[in-house]
Amino acid sequence: MEFAKPLPPFLIARHRDRRAARTAEELRRLRELSEHGQNPRAMVIACCDSRVMESEVFGSEAGEFFVHRNIANLVPPCTTDGQQHGTSATIEYAVKVLKVRHLIVMGHSRCGGVAGCYDLHAGNTDQAPDPDSFVGHWLEILEPSVKPLIAEGLSREAALRRLEQEAVLRSLANLMTFPFVAEEVYVGRLQLHGTWKDIGDGDLEVYDAETNAFYRL
């Protein structure tokens, strides 16, 4: 693998600083997880955006959250076509093997994937769609939520806020297309949760199914 290079010095220095700062309790916890395996109570599906971290929202230690991140925190509908599906495989492992009890979809403000999807369909860009774009095909998951918002004639800022939260709801709905997820939900062993983080202040909004709205904690 001649194309693989050593880590850059700044990452090596940060790792060494972090390692030197580990407490005896942290080391004990890491050894315990190594010997006995993980048993996270919750899975978080979040965006790849570097400004979104579940540990910053909830506070966490190693072993507490099973985390999957992708563009725009989207969950695709269940598709059994024999192809590779990273997000679906991660959900399957979390639910069927780790038996998590909570599955949290975390959207966020200023999401570049959501904005790109909206601008493409709203005609806000001169760039032609790339038929070979992995990102473009991935964001097709969100298309059913984009067109109604455009028809409402909202400002771009208001539409993006709505679409960021619609991405969470679309993912929650798609989670229920997985038979193993739906079964666990219906028997009460698994709860689904929708959240949206404001990256400007770090606050969290949570979806309430009874009012069909997000409210700030």
Tokens of 13: 């220095």
The pLDDT confidence band at residue 53, using thresholds 50, 70 and 90, is confident
List pLDDT tens digits, range 131-140. 999 999 999 9
- Token pair 């993980």 is found at 38
Q: How far is the C-alpha of 190 from the C-alpha of 95, rounded, in Å?
A: 8
The pLDDT confidence band at residue 159, using thresholds 50, 70 and 90, is very high
Report the DSSP pairing between strands 191-197 and 204-208: antiparallel
Average pLDDT of the residues of the chain: 94
The pLDDT confidence band at residue 75, using thresholds 50, 70 and 90, is very high
The pLDDT confidence band at residue 72, using thresholds 50, 70 and 90, is very high
List pLDDT tens digits, range 102-112. 999 999 999 99
Q: Is the pLDDT of residue 151 over 90?
A: no
Residues 6+ apart with CB under 8 A from 204: 57, 195, 196, 197, 198, 216, 217
Phi, psi of 68 (to 5 degrees): -130, 130
Which DSSP category does 93 fall into? I
Q: Is the pLDDT of residue 158 over 80?
A: yes
What DSSP string describes 51-81?
T--HHHHH---TTSEEEEEEGGG--PPP--S
| Closest C-alpha to 112, from 79, 85, 81, 142 | 142
| pTM of the complete model beyond 0.85 | yes
Q: How far is the C-alpha of 80 from the C-alpha of 194, rounded, in Å?
A: 25
User: Following CA atoms 18, 21, 23, 24 in sequence, which dihedral angle do they give, to the nearest 10 degrees?
Assistant: 90
